[in-house]
Amino acid sequence: MVTLCGMPEVQWSPVGEDDVFGQRVREQWTEQLGRRLDILVAGCGRGGTLDVGRSDPLVTGVDEDLPPLRAHTASRQDLDAWYLDDMRKVPIPPRSFDVVHVSFLLERIHNAELVLDRLVGGLRPGGLLLIKARDRRSAYGFCDRMAPSWLRGALWRSLMPAGSVGPLPAVYEPIASREGIQAYCLMRGLMIAEDYSGATGPARRGPHAGLVKAVCGAVAALSGDRLSGTNDEVCMVVRKPQNHFARLI
């Protein structure tokens, strides 16, 4: 792994990938000597929950204002407050959160880098930025972003597992990739502490998962393996530095 911003190399955790975010939040709570954490969930209309253990944080959710996202957000029991609007406008007070969880948001919004700047601006120094995104440089992401909206809508019910939220926009700006997030962190003075790949595209768990896997494999082969046919998710633990030499955002 590359070294970013003069910081130590990216570390790989023995914690299972599914629990790594929850583990890091619990560690953050311990480091704060039990002070109640403020957590912002960006992408609350689609994403899952964090296993925060006994920390009992104050959790705020933000997302785009779309009917399926509103319905899912309203059904959540873990949010103390939530706001749905254009992500360039939702209220994000500066330096107000200990943890910002960006959950499958970057790939489905426009102006994603500007939005991420707002989210990072909401982090306190030393805070955690937890990112999960669908990778535009995967075969799954390529198919998702290249399929016209009418086709995605027509295939949604037959390909997705029951209870999936959507269909949602598939924008996939360059930042919605491992290389895009790495470049963003380098430019903003953020340290990537952990970096994982995964295969979690919802259609991979649907009633035609075998077909989806075969299509992704074929697209990867046709791309000369420039697109990954096995992994489609970027999962990163990023830390906002404490020192004043980092760029202020």
At 52 the pLDDT is 86
CA atoms within 13 A on the CB side of 185: 30
Residue 198: per-residue pLDDT: 92
Q: Is the pTM of this model over 0.85?
A: yes
pLDDT per residue as tens, the chain (249 positions): 333 444 434 444 433 445 899 999 999 999 888 789 999 999 999 977 888 888 889 999 999 999 999 999 999 999 999 999 999 999 999 999 999 999 999 999 999 999 999 999 999 999 999 999 999 999 999 999 999 999 999 999 899 998 899 999 999 999 999 999 999 999 999 999 999 999 999 999 999 999 999 999 999 999 999 999 999 999 999 999 986 554 544
Q: Is there a cis peptide before residue 68, judged by omega within 30 degrees of 0?
A: no
pLDDT of residue 19: 82
Residue 47's pLDDT is what?
A: 72
Surface-to-core class of residue 200, CB atoms within 10 Å of its CB (0-12 exposed, 13-18 middle, 19+ buried): middle
pLDDT of residue 11: 44
- Contact of 3 with 9, CB cutoff 8 Å: yes
DSSP string of 182-208?
HHHHHHHT-EEEEEEEE---GGGGSTT
The H or E element that residue 113 is part of is: helix 112-121
Q: What is the pLDDT, as a whole number, of residue 167? A: 93
Walk me through the domains of the chain, giving residue ranges and CATH numbers.
Answer: 17-134+174-200+233-239 (3.40.50.150)
The predicted structure's pLDDT at residue 15: 39
